[in-house]
Amino acid sequence: MTAEFATRAGLVTGAASGLGRATAIAFGEARARVVVADVDEAGGAETVRMVEAVGGQALFIRTDVTDAGQVEAMVGGCFAAYGSLDFAVNNAGTTGRGGRVGEYDLEDWRRTVSTNLDGVFHCLRAELPIMERAGRGAIVNVASGAGLVGFPGLPAYVASKHGVVGLTKAAALEYAAAGVRVNAVCPGSTRTAMLEGYMAQDPRVERMMVAGVPLGRLGLPDEIAAAILWLCSDAASFVVGHALAVDGGSVVQ
């Protein structure tokens, strides 16, 4: 798998932290050239250093995925810098605030859906025409186990991640004939800043999360990155429109 990425270039959104950073580093280890897109400039610069430290090439482009214009500029910037767009990982996301549907704050709803669902749409809208013209490419949208099953307390998150899975299937069907593969990964609870922040609210949260994982532990960012790289690789050449749970068995229970 490693050799094929040495001639390839692409982008990872939300790559200043967590799963996005781990994915950018994994592409770097595979000698790919990768655009690190995020709103967090300091974290993005650190990811670039980490990608370069493992032998990859990286370029930070500050991008707010809720802004379609910024996303178009970032995707165009990747193509201009590297001459191709072979893979794209639309990963930027937020859990948003907790709460029940009946009391959920309108602004929190809009902010969460805007980041998680509009953000992925803006990315696909900019990436797919470039890949269609090239006649090849692979896209992975980062959804969640919350994109496959419901749970209470994070309605905007659950709804937006189900939306990401649906959008993945729609885009996959529209672009498969053009040689472009669109898939999703649905991570289970994985140790990143996002999850550590959520678990810090109450020590019981981590115990409850681990109890829900048949493998008996939380996931690690590298385990999600490995699945993303595989979906972007030629090894997954017949995999289209799939939502791959990488979650220690959580959603099959």
Residues with a catalytic annotation lie at 157
Judged by CB, which is closer to ligand NAI: 29, or 46? 46
> Does residue 192 bind ligand NAI (CB under 6 A)?
yes
| DSSP class of 251 | G
Choose between 136 and 230: whose C-beta lies nearer to ligand NAI.
230
Question: Nearest approach, Cβ of 181 to ligand NAI (angstroms)?
Answer: 20
Is 14 one of the binding residues for ligand NAI (CB under 6 A)? yes
User: Closest separation between CB of residue 175 and ligand NAI, Å?
Assistant: 21
State the nearest-atom distance from the C-beta of 60 to ligand NAI, in Å.
Answer: 11
- Closer Cβ to ligand NAI, 187 or 248, answer by number: 187
**Among 2-10, 77-85, 89-97, 228-236, the segment contacting ligand NAI (CB under 6 A):** 89-97
Whole-angstrom distance, CA of residue 184 vs CA of residue 45: 26
Give phi and psi for 56, each to the nearest 5: -95, 175
Binding status of residue 40 toward ligand NAI by CB under 6 A: yes
The two tokens of residue 156 are 């905007």
CA-nearest of 28, 144, 146 to 91 is 144
Site string for ligand NAI, 48-67 (x = CB under 6 A): ---------------xxxx-
Positions in 132-161 near ligand NAI (CB under 6 A)? 142, 144
How big is the CA angle at 65 (ends 62 and 66), to the nearest 5 degrees? 125
By CB under 6 A, the residues from 94 to 113 that bind ligand NAI are 94
Q: Give the whole-angstrom CA distance, residue 70 versus residue 73.
A: 5
Tokens standing for residue 234: 């030629």
Give the single-character DSSP code of 27. Answer: H
Distance in Å, CB of 39 to ligand NAI, minimum:
4
x/- string (CB under 6 A) for ligand NAI, residues 195-234? x---------------------------------------
The CA-based angle 161-164-167, given to 5 degrees, is 155
CA separation, residue 197 to residues 80, 109, 203, 219, 250 (Å): 37, 19, 11, 16, 21
Q: How far apart are CA 180 and CA 173, in angstroms?
A: 10
Could you say which DSSP state residue 142 is in? E
Contact positions vs ligand NAI (CB under 6 A):
13-14, 16-20, 38-40, 43, 63-66, 91-94, 115, 119, 142, 144, 187, 189-190, 192-195
